[in-house]
Amino acid sequence: MNRLLIVGDALLDRDLDGAVSRLAPDAPVPVVEEPREWCRPGGAALAAALAAGDGREVTLITALGADDAGATVRTLLERIGVNLVDVGNDGPTPQKVRVRASGQPVVRLDYGERRGTIATPDPHALSAVRSARAVLVSDYGRGISAEPAMRDALEEGAEDGAKLVWDPHPRGAAAVPGARAITPNLAEARHVTRAGDTADDVRTVTRMATDLRTQWQAHGVAVTLGSRGALLVSGDGTPLMVPAPVLAQVTDPCGAGDRFAVTVAGSLADGAVLSEAIVAAVASASEFVAAGGAGAVGAQDAQDSDATRALPEDHATAHDIIAAVHQRGGRVVATGGCFDLLHAGHVQLLADARRLGDCLVVCINSDDSVRRLKGPGRPVVREADRSAVLLGLEAVDAVITFDEDTPERVLSELRPDIWVKGADYAVTDLPEAPLIASWGGHAVVLPYLAGRSTTSMIQEALRHARH
């Protein structure tokens, strides 16, 4: 992976997360009991941390205050290998403190809102900006991208062919001319273009992106639209709509914009064209928020959990969903099977299973597992496509693939509250029932729609093919 230079405003994010079981006696507000606290880099510092996590060599040029918060940000970034260039700031380092109850936000407290005076970057820092081949400006409205010498260096770099991505802020500076991509969210695009229309349809967003591209003389503008994906206007002005993948419910979107911008900048640095970079960024941001967003990154660092990191990569999303549901006191439902050639019986079973709890995880046999169970002609649909089809159903929150003949191992890791099987099983005949009961869960049976089966569908298709 190629190097990435980030210029922007670093913040300190602090999370306090505890349990709530009662209201305060003196006011109708929740009492957050025994909160655990952890700190994480925020703003441009989060962008640098994400890029470093991608395996990049990252330099962050920022302006920290000479305070405890600034020292904490410095320590956090040095710990993960970010090369930090602090030009200095006589104001405070901003802090954003989020108080949460079992993962749900209760209130946010902001400190250090006063903007200080940013020192002129030294010649070495300015030279690094001018010579960088890939630059991300992560503007959080604190002023480093508006500092005159820094702005001149960014503009010279863009003129010289640097792949410059500008992630704007309503209180920040306009991008320098020649940026390869501007990555506002919808509210930021509306603010910059002073669009009075509050509509968010494709035509309206395209008009805002086109206006912003002209106003800031950028090669392209990608407006992020949350769960809808992103819309890119570049080249001849024809919009490219990149939908977000259908993933689990989002519990914390914090940091999604940073994840998006970092992926765009990194992809361009590695030689992707702009449309390819936007497609990659939508997928990356969607996966990021499905896994818990920036808060999950901080929580994992604080917990330092070997058990969590030991989970295979394809378990991460389901594990995070289950943890969030259990934190809220909800019930996790799981079911399993091959789900080869999805039919109406499957869809009805999944919808019925989802209504038994607060999320549904589907455990599917891998291709090798299906082949062992069903014979050399199966599966008809490969596991990646079976997973994608299942995730497209409203009832399904996550899909897990297992390679064994039975799902006991994956169930032991996920520990659902309810295990559902279809067809004519009796609960006592379910081989997984004793395992589910060992942690207090329950196994239940739901009927399939009569006459629906994958085998009969395959036989019917072969009969028609012979005629």
User: Residue 96: enclosing H or E segment and its boundaries?
Assistant: strand 95-101
DSSP-derived secondary structure letter, 29: -
Query: In Å, what is the CA distance from 192 to each residue of 135, 182, 222, 260, 304?
Result: 22, 12, 14, 19, 41
Rounded to whole angstroms, the Cα distance separating 375 from 385 reads 19
| Spatial CA neighbour of 257 closest among 139, 431, 411 | 139
Q: Which residue's entry shows tokens 């940091």?
A: 255
Active site residue 258: yes
CA distance 61 to 77: 12
CA distance linking residue 82 with residue 52, whole number of Å: 7
Identify the CA nearest to 151 among candidates 115, 176, 179: 176
Tokens of 307: 């058990």
Distance from chain centroid for Cα 134: 23
Alpha helices in 339-453 (DSSP H): 344-354, 367-374, 383-391, 408-414, 433-437
Which of 258, 340, 358, 397 is catalytic? The answer is 258
Burial class (CB in 10 A: 0-12, 13-18, 19+), 304: exposed
Nearest to 213 by CA among 259, 262, 178: 178
Q: Which amino acid is at 196?
A: G
Burial class (CB in 10 A: 0-12, 13-18, 19+), 338: buried
Task: Report whether 223 contacts 203 (CB < 8 A).
Answer: no
Edge to edge, the sheet with strand 30-43 lists 30-43, 10-23, 95-101, 104-111
Adjacent-strand bridge partners of 393: none
Are the C-beta atoms of residues 410 and 400 closer than 8 Å to each other? Answer: yes
CA 403 distance to own-chain centroid? 27
Sign of the CA dihedral with 303 first, then 257, 128, and 173 last: negative
- Nearest residue to 162 via CA among 18, 29, 269, 263: 269
Question: What distance in Å separates the CA atoms of residue 156 and residue 163, rounded to the nearest whole number?
Answer: 12
Do the Cβ atoms of 275 and 316 come closer than 8 Å? no
Q: Which residues are catalytic?
A: 258
